[in-house]
Amino acid sequence: MFPKVLSLLGLGFCLGQKIGTHAGGHDKPSLSAWPSPVVPLRGNVTLRCHSFSPFTSFKLTKRNGTPIPELQTRNIKSVTLSPVTRAHAGSYSCSKDHRNTLGWSAPSDALDIIVTGVFRKPSLSAQPGSLVHMGQAVTLCCHSELTFDKFILHREGDAWLPQQLVEKLHDRTRQAHFSVGPMTSSRAGAYRCYGSFGHFPYEWSAPSDPLKVVIIGIQKKPSLSAQPGPTVTSGHNVTLSCHSDSRSDLYHLCRAHEAHGCWPAGGQSHHGLFQADFPLGPATSAHGGTYRCYSSFGHSPYAWSDPSDPLHLVVTESSTSAFLSAREPSTTKEAHLPQENSSKLYTLIGFSTAFLSIAVFLAALVCYWCSIKNRAAFREPEPKKGQTMNGEDPAAEDTHNVIYALLTPQQRGFTPSSRSPKNVSTEPSIYMELKVNQAHAEAEPGPGL
């Protein structure tokens, strides 16, 4: 009797567990997003409901944010959201439906669908630098022009369990500091950061540009050399070679204070050494600086060797360039003037040219006026007392200009007379022409001498 009672009690407990499970007990599904729950604006994402037990369909429900009615009523196994808009941002869950059951299962855990690209992207930097020795720490600074309430730091390839930090520093700028360390190979990688507002928790900014955090010191340092040498004339080709004793798949050439990072190149074997060449082409002053190189393996792109010894590349000017710079110092100087100073210089030159042109024109005009005045004074002398000048009387004008004196052999002096004497003598006569416009009249022999 007692064993039968125990069997009935066990059967009842199992039936209760089964009924409770189908009624929404512990047999709840899970919800996933492919390729990622963080979706760029106008991208696409597929939501799928999973369960260990078979089911015919599932119901997708949006818990937060803007409701989407069609997702709440459709009995399907998966749904693709495309193109993703701000209305799709929110928290989702799914419930499954079995055949011949009492109803829907319990809802799955919530899955947050984040839409990025809603706001302008922040920027990410590393202090003291993105090349970190093993065991040291690095601080990643995410800063933005917008007044974000929250910043999110994420490493590419990690599951979306990002580190979050809310920090308010200034009225118009926001920035967050993330400490990463001590540095290991598992912490190295490409990082991005996002910004978000408290009242839009599922809408993030566009991601920052990736920042590669590299752990160095995994291998011993390589060597760096320059061909034809560390001092090269401008315009000549120069090549930097990074080589090591141990095999390496990849080499990286870095220049000090270079904002664009390092340049990679594949390694090759030469006479037992492994090296990579970095041709810089015709050298210019921009190629000068301090260089280092690193080696790494292809399967560990963020784990590098120790840096090589620094190589100082010096680019000198050719003799032709030096001669031209000596001949035309002003041209060389003007080539390096800022655009703003050049415009001011051109304006000043324009005003000076205009002022000089006006001055030359006025001087020429004054000289011309003075020459006309002097010419008029020379051609029209002042008349003597008792003489009349009349431009309409040619005889009077001639009498003013020239006076003839009649001289006879008996006369020792001379008597002025008119140009046409009325009494003509039979004796030989001598005429003297007098120019009255001179201070001392010059005597010239007249006709008939």
Model confidence at 316: pLDDT above 60: yes
- Domain 221-319: which topology? Immunoglobulin-like (2.60.40)
Q: Which 3 state secondary structure label does DSSP give 284?
A: coil
Answer yes or no: same fold for 19-115 and 221-319: yes
Q: Quickly count: other Cβ atoms within 10 Å of residue 175's Cβ.
A: 20
pLDDT band at 138 (very low <50, low <70, confident <90, very high): very high
Q: Which residue has the higher pLDDT, 298 or 99?
A: 298
Cβ(300)–Cβ(213) below 8 Å: no
pLDDT band at 247 (very low <50, low <70, confident <90, very high): confident
CATH number 2.60.40.10 given to 19-115: yes
pLDDT of residue 374: 65
Cis amide bond preceding 301, omega within 30: no
Residue corresponding to tokens 């000017």: 317
pLDDT band at 206 (very low <50, low <70, confident <90, very high): very high
Model confidence at 447: pLDDT above 80: no
Architecture in CATH for domain 120-215:
Sandwich (2.60)
pLDDT band at 361 (very low <50, low <70, confident <90, very high): confident
Q: Which residue has the higher pLDDT, 448 or 275?
A: 275
Model confidence at 231: pLDDT above 90: yes
Return d(Cα 370, Cα 364) in angstroms, integer: 10
Q: Which residue has the higher pLDDT, 10 or 38?
A: 38
Cα separations in angstroms, 96 against 24, 30, 47, 62, 78: 9, 10, 14, 15, 11
Model confidence at 165: pLDDT above 80: no
pLDDT of residue 105: 80
pLDDT of residue 172: 52
Cα separations in angstroms, 148 against 164, 167, 401, 442: 12, 9, 104, 108
Q: Which ranges of 281-432 does DSSP label H, i.e. alpha helix?
A: 319-327, 329-335, 339-379, 394-401
pLDDT, averaged across the chain? 74
Average pLDDT rounded to a whole number, residues 11-36: 62
Q: Which residue has the higher pLDDT, 381 or 288?
A: 288
Cβ(96)–Cβ(55) below 8 Å: yes
Domain extent listing, the chain: 19-115, 120-215, 221-319, 394-445
Average pLDDT rounded to a whole number, residues 188-195: 94
Average pLDDT rounded to a whole number, residues 189-196: 94
Q: Which residue has the higher pLDDT, 245 or 65?
A: 245
Model confidence at 189: pLDDT above 60: yes
pLDDT of residue 53: 72
Return d(Cα 26, Cα 18) in angstroms, integer: 10
Query: H or E stretch including 14?
Result: helix 2-22
- pTM of the prediction? 0.62
Q: Which ranges of 280-338 does DSSP label H, i.e. alpha helix?
A: 319-327, 329-335
Q: Which ranges of 380-415 does DSSP label H, i.e. alpha helix?
A: 394-401
